[in-house]
Amino acid sequence: MRKIIHIDCDCFYASVEMRDRPELRNVPLGVGGRPEQRGVIATCNYPARKFGVHSAMPTVTAFKRCPDLVLVPPDFERYRAASRAVHAIFRDYTALIEPLSLDEAYLDVSDATRCHGSATLIAQEIRARIEAEVGITASAGIASNKLIAKIASDWHKPDGQFVVRPEEIDAFIAPLPVKKLWGVGKVTAARLNAAGAETCADLQQWPQERLVREYGKMGLSLYRQCRGIDHRAVEPNQVRKSLSVENTYPNDLVGLPECVAALPALWDDFSRRFARCDTLPHKAFVKIKFNDFTQTTMECVHSAPTPALFEQLLASAWQRKSRPVRLLGIGVRFDEGHAPVPAASLPLWDDADAMR
């Protein structure tokens, strides 16, 4: 029986800003890009969330909902420094740490000896140390598998924790909306809801054959997840298969020139992350989602991607439909036999729900 803790720092980027600038603690605060530059909110503090501001929201919309929002640009060097301090605390308790982002990780404490081996007490102690030593707060979920631990870490946010014991998993998972399951985004959730599966209890009524028939491999995952089953181990040396950045634009990019003009911002973000990789990629690719929600990807074998290469791929991909674009992404794929082992990755958003 595993003992797994999912630790998630609360509104991480905003918390670091509030730690370093105490005058921001009680005002609505957003971290992100300027509205005149089609910026988006990377994260915001809880006072801002009361106005309906959230991660991945266009900054112009955030100001409409909260005119008094204080907006600050992201400072990733300070966020990385805070992340290193948090992960140093994790290592005092276990070597089995799987980073998900700068501010989030799974810890397997099954064999830990600190705090009498109690996962609940270890989580409490880690959270207390993060607050005392790093100056920010964190929440935790404790369970016997990764799926339940991650969901549980949202239960008592901010600055709280929640335990789901093995015998409590059935009662915990049954009433959850299906959108809480891993890999279920808005489109899949809407499709499941339309078919009568609002909750995990509803989905448990579907036979495995139906789920696999309608959703392929994802169907098998859904069959297990809606029952709270997750056999995945915490993987400290998880291999990255790809590295990419993308952006959904509040206003569609009309024509290829507008798409090309959006590339430099993507390149800046991509190149910063790519610099931390310790091996060469195998392929480079550009991803486009058009305004009719169709999607295409253009890729080529290349070990040294450049802005010019991505521009060429973009031009080829755009020609496939030649219509307005709502999402652009660029990235690389690694040879699975020689992929890098990443340190904690840097997401565009620091809130997990924004990644759905």
Residues 165, 178 within the same domain: no
**Alpha-carbon distance 136 to 178, whole Å?**
31
Asked which of 105, 137, 169 is the last residue of a domain, the reply is: 169
Where in the sequence is the domain holding 44, given as residue range(s)? Answer: 13-76
Residues 247, 345 within the same domain: yes
Would 237 be classed as within a structural domain? no
Residues 103, 151 within the same domain: yes
Over residues 205-230, the pLDDT tens digits come to 999 999 999 988 889 999 999 999 99
Task: Determine how β-strand 138-143 pairs with β-strand 161-163.
Answer: parallel
Task: Determine how β-strand 70-72 pairs with β-strand 97-101.
Answer: unpaired
Q: Is 270 exposed, middle or buried (0-12, 13-18, 19+ CB in 10 A)?
A: buried
Residues 150, 183 within the same domain: no
User: Residue 195 phi/psi, 5° resolution?
Assistant: -90, 5
Q: What is the pLDDT of residue 290?
A: 93
**Alpha-carbon distance 220 to 236, whole Å?**
25
Residues 251, 340 within the same domain: yes
Residues 70, 119 within the same domain: no
Residues 250, 301 within the same domain: yes
Would 235 be classed as within a structural domain? no
Lowest mean pLDDT among 273-277, 317-321, 349-353: 349-353
**Alpha-carbon distance 98 to 260, whole Å?**
36
Is pLDDT larger for residue 269 or for residue 24? 24
In sign, the C-alpha dihedral spanning 134, 140, 146, 152 is negative
Stretch 270-276: mean pLDDT:
72
Residues 256, 342 within the same domain: yes
**Alpha-carbon distance 197 to 205, whole Å?**
9
Residues 268, 319 within the same domain: yes
Residue 115 amino acid letter: C
Residues 122, 187 within the same domain: no
Residue 234 confidence (pLDDT) above 70: yes
Mean pLDDT of the chain: 88
**Alpha-carbon distance 106 to 100, whole Å?**
8
Write the CATH number for 206: 1.10.150.20
Q: What is the pLDDT of residue 42?
A: 84
* pLDDT class of 152 with cuts at 50, 70, 90: very high
Over residues 306-343, the pLDDT tens digits come to 888 999 999 999 999 999 999 999 999 887 544 444 43
Residues 105, 190 within the same domain: no
Q: Is 104 a catalytic residue?
A: yes
Residue 351 confidence (pLDDT) above 70: no
| Cα–chain center distance at 228 | 21
Query: Which two tokens mark 348?
Result: 């565009």
Would 232 be classed as within a structural domain? no
Q: What angle do CA 233, 234, 238 make, to 5 degrees?
A: 105
Q: What is the pLDDT of residue 7?
A: 97
Task: Determine how β-strand 325-333 pairs with β-strand 242-253.
Answer: antiparallel
Residue 296 confidence (pLDDT) above 70: yes
Q: What is the pLDDT of residue 141?
A: 98
Write the CATH number for 120: 3.30.70.270
Give 338's Cβ-side CA count (13 Å radius). 8
Over residues 66-125, the pLDDT tens digits come to 999 999 998 888 998 999 999 999 999 999 999 888 889 999 999 999 999 999 999 999
What share of the chain in percent tops pLDDT 70? 91
Q: What is the pLDDT of residue 57?
A: 84
Please answer whether residues 29 and 14 qualify as being in contact, where contact means their C-beta atoms are separated by less than 8 angstroms.
yes
Stretch 238-248: mean pLDDT:
79
Write the DSSP symbol of residue 199: B
Write the CATH number for 34: 3.40.1170.60
Please answer whether residues 138 and 10 qualify as being in contact, where contact means their C-beta atoms are separated by less than 8 angstroms.
yes
Give 64's Cβ-side CA count (13 Å radius). 6
End-to-end Cα distance, the chain? 30
103 known member of a binding site:
yes
Is pLDDT larger for residue 37 or for residue 282? 282
Asked which of 225, 260, 294 is the last residue of a domain, the reply is: 225
Would 39 be classed as within a structural domain? yes
Residues 114, 157 within the same domain: yes
Q: For the chain, how many structural domains are there in total?
A: 4
Over residues 14-65, the pLDDT tens digits come to 999 999 999 999 999 999 888 877 677 889 999 999 999 998 788 899 999 9
* pLDDT class of 173 with cuts at 50, 70, 90: very high
Over residues 137-146, the pLDDT tens digits come to 999 999 999 9
Query: Which two tokens mark 43?
Result: 């994260």
**Alpha-carbon distance 255 to 26, whole Å?**
43
Write the CATH number for 247: 3.30.1490.100
Q: What is the pLDDT of residue 275?
A: 66
Per the residue annotation, which of 17, 77, 104, 198 is the catalytic one? 104
Q: Count, in order, helices (H) and strands (E) of the chain.
A: 13, 12
Residue 200 confidence (pLDDT) above 90: yes
What share of the chain in percent tops pLDDT 90? 67
